Amino acid sequence: MVTHTRIRQFNTKDTYPNQTLDNDLCQAVRAGNTVYVRGQVGTDFEGNLVGLGDPAAQAHQAMKNVQQLLEEAGSCLEHVVKTTTYITDPRYREPVYQAVGSWLKGVYPISTGLVVAGLAQPQWLMEIDVIAVIPAQGVGA
């Protein structure tokens, strides 16, 4: 019996070629009616950074990724229940939260925000991970 589905599997040696890593991961996991989305940054799924030096542009790209991953898992932004946002500078709080908020208008998830010393790549200014649900009646219920 399958208890969960792994979405967009990858290996870190491909996504972090400048580091000596070899970990098997995925972008999201659907477990029952819950979807856990790995931390998303301003990099698209082809590995291109969007918004070098621009925390708002990176946040928009991260949320675009979140939206796509949730849809692939059978959910949508409307069903986000928790976000955790990481920023590398407290001055990024407003532009990042404004960008994220524009994607989650009317959703009302719980949210945690952290200022961190750095992320996995120095050009990343923010990262967001998300937990969402899949309603019993399906997407949009």
User: What's the pLDDT tens digit per position in 99-130?
Assistant: 999 999 999 999 999 999 999 899 999 999 99
**Which residues are CB-neighbours of 38 under 8 A, at least 6 positions away?**
25, 26, 27, 28, 129
CA distance from start to end of the chain = 26
Identity (one letter) of the amino acid at 36?
Y
- What integer is the mean pLDDT of 31-44? 96
42, pLDDT greater than 80: yes
pLDDT of residue 19: 65
